[in-house]
Amino acid sequence: MSTYHPLSEAEAIEIARTIEGVFEPGAKLVSREIGDGNLNLVFHISDPAAGRSIILKQALPYAKVVGESWPLTLDRARIESEALILEGQLAPGLVPNVYLYDKDLALTIMEDLSDHVIMRQGLMNSGRYPLFAEHISTFLAQTLFFTSDLGHNQQEKKLRTSGFINPELCKITEDLIFDHPYTDADTNSFDPAIRDEAEALWNDGALHLEVALLREKFLTHSQALLHGDLHTGSIFITPESTKVIDPEFAYYGPMGFDIGAVIANLLLNFASREGWDKTAAEREEYEAYLLQTVKDVLEKFEAKFLALWNEQGVDRLAGSAPGYKENYMQRLLQDTIGFAGCKMVRRIVGLAHVADIDKIQDAAVRERAQRLALRIGKTLIASNRSFTSVNQLIDAVQTAN
Ligand code: ADP
Ligand code: MG
Ligand code: MG
Ligand code: MG
């Protein structure tokens, strides 16, 4: 198409015109740059008269959140488009359609999902999404099972991992999730009101051991192709539909990291409810809704994953060794709990926060939400190797509240 440069709005419009079957020739197109993420440009190109639109997402050669001093590979656009296409095959209807990937421009052109809302915002507005647990558990079970050694030829899997070596994006996770929150790092950013909590994290040896063990899994356990950044800002939602976006962190890692991301972000919203619900009764109801969703996601995931294993497993030994499945699912739940805890802690004291908590206006309420999120996060990390059931997780969250 052309050599890499960040596109202007006019260029984005001209490229959008070339996608077949979207816009009429000569249509009057409008562009808006709508990227609210940390890393990339996102152009919304529309023909308002005809009610048609499309999204162009372009990687920048640096992290937008920090600036040009933090260079970042453009290859992540390839990883994102390839992961989206694969996820669309494994979990039909649960990701946007990809129309085109252009390597030179690090550009992915995809379906516009503006009729959905970003789930984080939806939860902040107390939205209810009765099909979310059903949809996301399908997404997780299908994408994780069929890219693992259980659902996929083991030699093919090894070959496929080479397309998803993602060292630079993995390093962001390794630093920002597993390292910096536990030391007095320059990248950390936290409310001065909770400095005591941050310092406690830096000095908690028992917690450091658990985080080191979870980090080791993230570094070494190539279990399945992960989305890698499955927070509620990467999920578009309506009461009827769920669409996962933004898999630029995709790599072969431990499955619990993706499942834990979903759980962590539901629980971060749980910790924020005092800031969003008008009455104690509404808060209680919404908290119960969130906890039920956590439970549903985990239970539905387990049922679907096991059904796939029983019906479509390709690994004879893993399928028949007595107790192996139970052991595997137990470890997967424990990883999920541990990674969920890590993902909560980093959102309070690390570089990137969540709007659920940061956008709470009242400083005292915000401080309570931050402390609650840390209490839950630390509990999950501390108990990740001892919990054996979803109910234990739910009880621990209720006790922390
Ligand atoms: P980043 O990798 O920079 O976080 P995202 O893929 O998360 O980028 O997109 C950033 C924002 O752009 C999203 O929060 C959303 O508002 C918008 N966006 C991204 N993809 C789409 C899409 N397919 N349809 C509509 N809006 C989108
Ligand atoms: Mg994003
Ligand atoms: Mg204080
Ligand atoms: Mg992203």
Residue 286: give its domain's CATH number.
3.90.1200.10
Residue 17 domain flag: yes
Q: Is the CB of 34 under 6 A from ligand 1?
A: yes
Last residue of a domain, one of 110, 141, 160: 110
Residues 103 and 124 in one domain: no
| pLDDT score at 1 | 58
Q: Is 195 annotated to bind ligand?
A: no
Query: Would you say residue 147 lies in a domain?
Result: yes
Q: How many independent structural domains does the chain possess?
A: 2
Q: Within this chain, do residues 375 and 252 fall inside the same structural domain, yes or no?
A: yes
Does 57 belong to an annotated binding site? yes
The CA–CA distances, whole Å, from 105 to 16, 100, 111 equal 13, 11, 18
Report CA(245)–ligand 4 centroid distance (Å). Answer: 8
Looking at the DSSP bridge assignments, the partners of residue 62 are: 71
- 251 & 326 share domain: yes
Query: What is the per-residue pLDDT for 63?
Result: 82
Distance from residue 173's CA to the centre of ligand 2 (Å)? 14
Ligand 1 pocket test, candidate residues 42, 244, 265, most atoms within 8 A of CB: 42
Q: What is the pLDDT of residues 93-134, one digit of tens each?
A: 999 999 999 999 999 999 999 999 999 999 999 999 999 999
Q: What is the pTM of this model?
A: 0.98
Mutate to test the pocket of ligand 1, among 40, 53, 57 (most ligand atoms within 8 A of CB): 57
Tell me whether residue 1 is in a domain: no
223 and 362 belong to one structural domain:
yes
Does residue 112 line the site of ligand 1, with CB under 6 A?
Answer: yes
Report strand pairing: 67-71 vs 107-110.
unpaired
Residue 66 has pLDDT above 80, yes or no: no
Query: What is the per-residue pLDDT across 131-160, written as a single tens digit (0 to 9) for each?
Result: 999 999 999 999 999 999 999 999 999 999
Q: Is the pLDDT of residue 64 over 90?
A: no
Of 63, 84, 110, the last residue of a domain is 110
pLDDT per residue as tens digits for the range 24-52: 999 999 999 998 777 899 999 999 999 99
Single out the residue in 75, 110, 145 at which a domain terminates.
110
Q: Are residues 333 and 381 in the same domain?
A: yes
Long-range contacts of 173-176 (CB under 8 A, 24+ apart): 173/218, 173/228, 173/249, 174/215, 174/218, 174/219, 176/346, 176/350, 176/351, 176/352
Ligand 3 centre distance from Cα of residue 303 (Å): 44
Please indicate, yes or no, whether residues 386 and 251 belong to a single structural domain of this protein: yes
- The answer to whether the beta carbons of residues 119 and 279 sit under 8 Å apart is no
Note whether 103 and 140 are same-domain residues.
no
Q: What percent of the chain has pLDDT over 90?
A: 96
Ligand 2 center from residue 346 Cα (angstroms): 16
C-alpha Rg value of the chain to the nearest Å: 21
2, part of any domain: no
User: Is there a single domain that holds both residue 333 and residue 194?
Assistant: yes
Q: Assess whether 220 and 288 both reside in one domain.
A: yes
Domain holding 102: CATH number? 3.30.200.20
Average pLDDT, the chain: 97
| Residue range of the domain that includes 65 | 9-110
pLDDT at position 69: 84
Same-domain check for residues 82 and 226? no
Task: Tell me whether residue 257 is in a domain.
Answer: yes
Residues 122 and 102 in one domain: no
Residue with tokens 């920048």: 60
User: Looking at the structure, do residues 178 and 97 belong to the same domain, yes or no?
Assistant: no
Q: Is the ipTM of this complex over 0.90?
A: yes
**Of 349, 339, 201, residue with least CA distance to 267:** 339
- Residue 3 counted as domain residue: no
Determine which residue's CA is closest to atom 6 belonging to ligand 1: 246
